[in-house]
Structure 1
Amino acid sequence: MSFTDVPDVVPGPDHVVVDVRAAGVCYPDLLLTKGAYQLRLEPPFTPGMEIAGVVAAAPEGSGLAVGDRVSASCGIGGYAEQVAVPVTAVTPSPAELDDAEAVSLLVNYNTMYFAYTRRAALQAGETVLVLGSAGGVGTAAIQIAKAMGAKVIAVVHRTAAVEFVESLGPDAVIPLADGWAKAVMDATDGRGVDVVVDPVGGEPFDDAIRTMATDGRLLVIGFAAGGIPTVKVNRLLLRNVGVLGVGYGEYIRRHPETAGEVASGLAGLVAAGLKPPPPVRYPLSEAAAALQALDDGGVYGKLVLEP
């Protein structure tokens, strides 16, 4: 990966030009640069699926004006000083957050709000188990579940991350070690959990199913551990539990109106006090180092590039 000059962006008729103040670094970016994402691109290309900044130019009738603070899921091209994105992909940035905090909401927080409201139908008072709780998805999963009135048990596999995870406000933090599933059951007085958030995959998946209460829902978010687990469906039948896929990007491609609904609902939680933890900030010129830090598991919460 190189930091270099490229031609100025040329917007299409229905595109907004945004001066990027913060570009989010997310796990799909990492997979894309490795050629391991479902979208395969031939180099050279500019990664970056999420940006926040100010409008530099906007088409008439868009409702946007030069200088407006906005955020956008751009799919590609966000690791840059300027990007052109479709009007439909742009939303106002919450006034309560700076640009680096606003960009933190785009992939992880929107995904988890969608996962809880549309896929799991999470209810206040239910108990959520979050795997990979120190990462970007895990951080969002904890904070949104708490904001929706749920109880949260966070599982941590990095000992050094315990203090960070505790700062997010879960009701219990359990190390990912031998016997962790039993510790979850003990924390729920043997009842189990209503919702499992799994962005990790791999070996913890099987144990997570064992922690689920009747009517439990396991949300498959991703496979950060590298292994894609399988499940014997008789276990789902006998326990009366379900495994649900969460592919927010694909969903909004098919149902674009959902993006506005999710953004509006999430904005309501932000207005009520939800705020992402301080992001880990890198200069845009050090994008390669930022991706390496993400790949090494050395990031707690959200990683952001700033031009």
Structure 2
Amino acid sequence: MICSAFAPVEELHHGDFPEPQAGPGEVVIDVAAAGVNYPDVLIVQGKYQTKPALPFVPGSEAAGRIAAVGPDVTGVTIGDRVIAFTGSGAFAEQVRVPATQVWPVPDGVDLEVAAGISITYGTSYHALKDRAQLKPGETLLVLGAGGGVGLTAVELGKHMGARVIAAASSAEKLALAKAQGADELIDYAQEDLRERIKQLTDGKGVDVAYDPVGGPMNLTAVKSLAWGGRLLVVGFAGGDIPSIPANLLLLKSASAVGVLWGNSVRADPVAQGGNMRQLLAWLADGSLKPVIDTRFALPDAVAALQHLEKRKVKGKVLLTLQPAS
């Protein structure tokens, strides 16, 4: 799938692109499946924090087999099953990736399922473990709990021993969050978010608030923090980038913490590689159970991105390219 100009996703086209070659420190992967994420929509439209040089192939994560290994690469060989954080290029038959952004898939783990792990689970685990330092017994509020990253935050928060309050915009999404381990549910289309949080926490507030939505709910999340609480700024799927009143943080000795997993992988590949290996181990032993919303074929990538734009996705959207053996 080729993006020739920053434009609506409908302008993407399916065609030929130069075959990638593995340079020093790089590998080429035969793509079995690619995860589709909301940032892919923004990147194609030119609305993301970074803009690839045109023309480019979108797609931020993939799974497949190593097809070629460049100089100075160790730890992987041709034929290895891997997942990769690509940044771009995953919506293709092959993709070139720095070897530091590639991790081995354990035996028995389906490549299609693994294709959607890196960004959503990687973001949430980095957010909860590294940025919030979430502790067992703390209370975690997850906004947008029915979406791709929100569901992983619910699942990981519960796995890490937190009491999880899932907030979403429909009963259907909340039912999915409940199935992923949420202890309490808030339908913010029907209930007052702040008042319900007060009720559920006996007025103390939440220790950690995970916000991939932005917009007006961000302020509610800040007001709902407990003493020493941490707000995780994950994204702005709601469209509006909020302003956080600094006095509210001061009054509660609270923190607003940015989370940008992709840049963290590049800045500290050793630590993030350890996180990814832990996530893949949990996936292999059944501790994590990713929710797949829909699978699309590669030529139908526009439809996949449109599906995300409607914001009705429950779980992960995937593009499939070849048998995920």
- Whichever residue aligns with residue 173 of structure 1, its letter is L
Pairwise CA RMSD: 1.7
Matched AA of 1:295: E
Query: What is the CA distance between 1:157 and its match in structure 2?
Result: 1.1
Farther-moved stretch of structure 1 (13-22 vs 289-298) = 13-22
Matches within 5 A, 1:26-37: 26-37=37-48
Q: Identity rate of aligned residues, in percent? A: 42
Distance 1:162 1:2, change over 3 A: same
- Counterparts of 1:42 and 1:257 in 2: how far apart (Å)? 28
> 1:30-179 maps to which residues of 2 (within 5 A)?
30-59=41-70, 62-177=74-189, 178-179=191-192
| Equivalent residue, structure 1, for 2:302 | 288
CA apart distance, 1:262: 1.7
Deviations, residues 14-61 of structure 1 (Å, cap 9, x unaligned): 322211011011122111001101212354210011000112222476
Q: Which residue of 2 aligns with 1:264?
A: 277
**Matching residue's letter, 1:239:** K
Partner SS for 1:303: strand
Give the one of 255, 279, 282 matched to 2:268. Answer: 255
CA contact (8 A) 1:147 1:269 kept: no
Assess if the C-alpha contact under 8 Å between 1:104 and 1:279 holds in 2. Answer: no
* Partner deviation per Cα, 1:50-74 (whole Å, 9 max, x = no partner): 0001122224762322321100111
2:317 aligned with 1:303: yes
The correspondence for 2:208, drawn from 195, 198, 208, is 195
Distance across 2 between alignment mates of 1:143 and 1:29: 23
SS at match of 2:125: helix
Q: What is residue 5 of structure 2 aligned with on the other side?
A: none
How far residue 101 of structure 1 moved from its aligned partner, in angstroms, is: 1.6
TM-score by length of 2: 0.89
Task: Give the drift of 1:279.
Answer: 4.4
Unmatched runs of 5 consecutive residues or more in structure 2: 1-11
The Cα shift of 1:229 comes to 0.9
Could you tell me how far 1:265 is from its partner in structure 2? Answer: 3.1
- Greater shift, 232-241 or 69-78, is seen at 232-241
Q: Hey, what does 1:228 align to over in structure 2? A: 241
Count residues with an aligned counterpart: 307
CA contact (8 A) 1:101 1:279 kept: no
In structure 2, the CA distance between the partners of 1:57 and 1:174, relative to structure 1 (3 Å rule), is same
What do the CA deviations read for 1:173-229 (whole angstroms, capped 9, x no partner)? 110134122112211222221100000000101111222111111100011111111
Tell me if the contact between 1:100 and 1:279 (Cα under 8 Å) persists in the aligned partners. Answer: no
Aligned with residue 212 of structure 1, among 207, 215, 225 = 225
Q: Secondary structure at the match of 2:292?
A: coil
Could you tell me how far apart the structure 2 residues matched to 1:268 and 1:96 are?
A: 11
Give the whole-Å Cα distance in 2 for the aligned partners of 1:18 and 1:41: 20
Residue pair 2:60, 2:88 contacting (<8 A) in 1 also: yes
Distance 1:210 1:80 in 2: 44
| Shift in Å, 1:275 | 2.2
Instruction: Give the distance between the partners of 1:14 and 1:243, measured in 2 at CA.
Output: 35
Q: 2:292 aligns with which of 275, 278, 284?
A: 278
* Displacement after TM superposition at 1:272 (Å): 6.1
Cα deviations by residue, 1:122-148 (Å, 9 ceiling, x for unpaired)? 001111000001111101100111111
State the match for 2:6 in structure 1.
none
Q: Distance in 2 between matches of 1:173 and 1:118?
A: 25
Aligned to 1:239: 252
What's the secondary structure of 1:72's corresponding residue?
Answer: strand
Could you tell me which residue of structure 2 aligns to residue 14 of structure 1?
25
* 8 Å contact kept, 1:201–1:223: yes
Q: Deviations over 1:252-276 (max 9, x none)?
A: 3232322212213323433361221
Contact 2:229 2:255 in 1 (8 A): yes
